Amino acid sequence: MSPLTHFDAEGQAHMVNVGAKPATRRVAVARGRITMQAGTLALIQSGTARKGDVLGVARIAAIQAAKKTSDLIPLCHPLALTRVAIDFAAKSPDGNWAGAIICTATVETTGPTGVEMEALTAVQVGLLTIYDMCKAVDRGMVMTDVRVLEKHGGTSGSYLAPAGEPPAP
């Protein structure tokens, strides 16, 4: 049997049966960043981007993405999410950053399976929305460092990303 749970004994992809697992509180936090020109960051912070409130739209897109994760990732279970919180923090030019926005997603549910994929999807779509809204002025933006920072709940217990991760906002 493969240690990868999305494959059966014959190696065929399948949706994991979580029917016998107890419903517990599940929480996942994911984070990523989008780097950009300093002028692009200033435009976003000023609220004068041509398409409107970039971070407001990106926040709604990220929340919607968390809710729609099972529509995007074929073997994810549809989950009744109890909380999706999206935080954006700007990093000013300082030598290490050309200019960046950090997106952090915290997703919660009470159920038989975790919400890591929902948190990761929220971050990615939030960052993609920033790119979409600002690409007219900066096509060189780069999305990086998307990963799970922590997860809690379930039989596997808690996970905290090792030290040395990208700095918190």
Q: Comparing 35-44, 91-100, 101-110, which segment has the lowest mean pLDDT?
A: 91-100
145 is catalytic: no
Q: How confident is the model at residue 113 (pLDDT cuts 50, 70, 90)?
A: confident
Catalytic residue chosen out of the listed positions 53, 132, 138, 145? 132
Averaged pLDDT of the chain: 86
pLDDT at 83: 98
State the pTM of this model: 0.86
Angle at which helices 38-46 and 116-134 pack, to 10 degrees?
Answer: 100
The DSSP-derived string for 69-135 is HHHHSTTPPP--EEEEEEEEEEE--SSS-SSEEEEEEEEEEEESS--HHHHHHHHHHHHHHHHHHHT
Domains and CATH numbers, the chain: 24-152 (3.30.70.640)
Mean pLDDT across 140-168: 86
Mean pLDDT across 37-47: 90
The torsion region of residue 73 among left (phi > 0), alpha (psi -120 to 50) and beta comes to beta
